[in-house]
Structure 1
Amino acid sequence: MDIFTIEYSGTSFESWANLGDDIQSLAAQKLLPYVSGGVSREELTCTKKTGVLSMNGYFLGGCEWPPAPAIEPFFFAFHVTPGSQAKICSPAGVEYLKQFQPIGCRDRGTMELMQAHGLEAFYSKCVTLTLPRRATAPVNGKVFMVGLSKGGISAVPRAIRKKAVLVDQAKLRLPSLSPKAKEMISQELLDTYAREASLVITSKIHCAMPCIAMGIPVVFLYDEKCKDDYRVGIIADLVGINYIGESWFAKVLGNRLRSRRIDWAPVSKDIEAEKSAIRAGYLEAFERAAQRYQARNKVAA
């Protein structure tokens, strides 16, 4: 039996990469007994591969849906964007999902969407939260500012900002990166955070969650105009969200005032019990899919 994870390859990724996508698949690979390869999110409907597919990740408006019938999916840490709801929750899409209930959802917004369409769904949280906690924190660690907007940068105190390492893991501009290369870069980035970071300040959920899992203190900044964004609800549950503005006034003065209410020296979050529950839930979902796949192929034989 082949086991696959979602692969972020194809025309949409020819000249850039969002390592947050690849980190989600990398986290799944660390939990599965083995991985045979990837199935491109852009080729779900037409893939010739057969086997079990981990459907953790971010499914947006351009995704292909539903997956080819030879694929046996399992849904855990599944996220549906507003732009993809019409496709994934169409009558045909809902009938497809019914075959694989319960649907484990990365956030409450996706869970409520599934439930509104009569599907059995639960809040699974994200597989990136299962990454191992680092053994020790660095003695003279660095502050990493990851994926911050101009508004976010203006909220960071100057004493912190002038010494921080700037990273943008969501907009890696390199042509023709293979999935394997992106996986290697993603792992190196995670290793760098674990080895060197005393604090991570970010607006990227797939920087925040891996760092929380690894025992790194995190400050999460987010645009106040996006308070209804259900993607980040999971961060609110873990470490809280500090909302900042993106207007001219906010960048000049407003965010400095907000900054005074932010704890810039947070302690790391202990989520080991939660991590164990997520890991167990993911493996249970995988085992159900593996049993379905084996039973289906036994009948076919």
Structure 2
Amino acid sequence: MQILALKWLSNNIGDDVQTIAVMQHLPRVDAFVDRDHLSQYDGPPAILVTNGWFLEKLENWPPSKNIRPIFFGFHVQERAKPTIAQHAEYLKKHAPIGCRDRATVDFVRSLGVEAYLSLCSTLTFEPPSDRAPDSIYLVEADENAFTRRFRKNHGLKLRTISHRVAETPTDVRLAFAKSMVETYGRKAALVVTKRIHCAMPCIAMGVPTVFIGPKTDRTSVVEEIGLERRDPWHPITRPFAPRISEIPAALDISGVKTKIKADLQARIAAALA
């Protein structure tokens, strides 16, 4: 049985972070397949951890019959729900459907398909052994998140990062994503971000994290794991939003992480057996 992993044509390196998170738990990867063109796969029979945000190319669902999907960390965007619903039998065939968020769980169950909250593989990263934090990372955020006193006195390097990427080959994207996650794990004393696939790896690695992204079904996972969401960048509330005055304590999700790892690894092993 071949083993596939997802590749992405988006401009968001967070998509690739999801792939490297899954690859931690695979014995190997034989080939990469484009998330939005899974119906076009014509290689040998293969398993695929089908994680992430679906679906951009609605006409390309469901995936090829040569792909045996392991639905884990699955999220269905609103405009894709009618297409997914038309193929409920496909989901039933490959149940249970592990979903990233409760909204997707509810949607899949409404189709008469077994589903559960798997959360996301990006919560399984481990902290590097050489962790030596010396910087604050603003990932698509800015210094207005902090009080003036904190900006003046925190004594750490301040680094501004974007998860936007130009069109590049898959191997380059994956290497960049892996390097970025490792850098956060080694060097970040604090990460402030609106990117969910920046926040979740950092939380998993024990990095103090402030998430300022919009509240949506897709990002509700942060509440599921107990992280307080802040939104100082909303154009209406920004002038009145509380600023970060100190580095918060890191969130301990060791129990959740262990459960996600065991679940994903068991499903991969069963698919390969």
TM-score, with length taken from structure 2: 0.90
The one-letter code of the counterpart of 1:281 is: D
Match of 2:15 in 1: 21
> In the alignment, is residue 241 of structure 1 matched against residue 237 of structure 2?
no
Within 5 A, what are the aligned runs for 1:187-202? Answer: 187-202=178-193
CA distance in 2, matches of 1:57, 1:49: 22
1:216-249 CA-to-partner distances (Å, cap 9, x unmatched) read 11011134xxx4x1111111123121133532x5
Report how far residue 104 of structure 1 moved.
Answer: 0.4
- Aligned residue type for 2:3: I
Match runs of 1:61-100 below 5 Å: 61-63=56-58, 64-90=60-86, 93-100=87-94
User: 1:160 offset after TM fit, Å?
Assistant: 5.0
**The structure with more helix, counted as a fraction of residues:** 1
What code does the residue aligned with 1:144 have? Y
The aligned counterpart of 1:204 is 195
The 1-side partners of 2:132 and 2:97 are apart by 39
Structure 2: gaps of 5 or more residues: none
Counterpart in the other structure of 2:175: 184
Q: Secondary structure at the match of 1:75?
A: strand
1:40 aligned onto 2:27: no
Counterpart among 126, 133, 141 of residue 127 in structure 2: 133
Between stretches 130-139 and 281-290, larger displacement belongs to: 130-139
Equivalent residue of 1:73, what SS? Answer: strand
Partner of 1:296: none
| Deviation by residue 1:188-236 (Cα, 9 ceiling, x = unmatched) | 111111121000011111000000111111011134xxx4x11111111
**Hey, what does 2:8 align to over in structure 1?**
8
Q: TM-score, normalised by structure 1?
A: 0.82
- In the TM superposition, what whole-angstrom CA distance separates every residue of 1:152-174 from its partner, at most 9, and x where no partner exists? 753333455575211111x12x3
Residues 268 and 134 of structure 1: CA distance in aligned 2, closer, same or farther (over 3 Å) = farther
Query: 2:55 maps to what in 1?
Result: 60
Tell me how far 1:115 sits from its aligned partner. Answer: 1.0
The answer on 1:123 being equivalent to 2:105 is no
Question: Could you say what secondary structure the match of 1:230 adopts?
Answer: coil
Q: Mind listing any 5+ residue stretches in structure 1 that lack a counterpart? A: 292-301
Question: What residue identity is the alignment partner of 2:47?
Answer: V
* Partner secondary structure for residue 264 of structure 2: helix
Q: Is the 8 A contact 2:196 2:213 kept in 1?
A: no
Q: Is the 8 A contact 2:128 2:182 kept in 1?
A: no
Task: Verify the 8 A CA contact 1:137 1:198 in the aligned structure 2.
Answer: no
Alpha-carbon spacing, 1:80–1:271, altered in 2? closer, same or farther (3 Å): same
CA distance in 1, matches of 2:191, 2:18: 18
Q: Which residue of 2 aligns with 1:142?
A: 135
> Alpha carbon RMSD of aligned pairs, Å?
2.0
Q: Deviations over 1:118-170 (max 9, x none)?
A: 1110000100111112335425x10001123xxx753333455575211111x
Give the fraction of aligned pairs with identical amino acids, expressed as a percent: 33
Change (3 A) 1:263 1:82: farther
| Structure 1: 4+ residue segments shifted above 4 A | 159-163
Q: For residues 39-92 of structure 1, give each alpha carbon's deviation from its aligned partner in whole angstroms, at most 9, with x where no partner exists.
A: 1112211111231111011113335210011111110111111121121122xx
Structure-2 separation of matches of 1:145 and 1:111: 32
Indicate the SS of the match to 1:243. coil
Question: Conserved in 2, the CA contact under 8 Å of 1:74 and 1:285?
Answer: yes
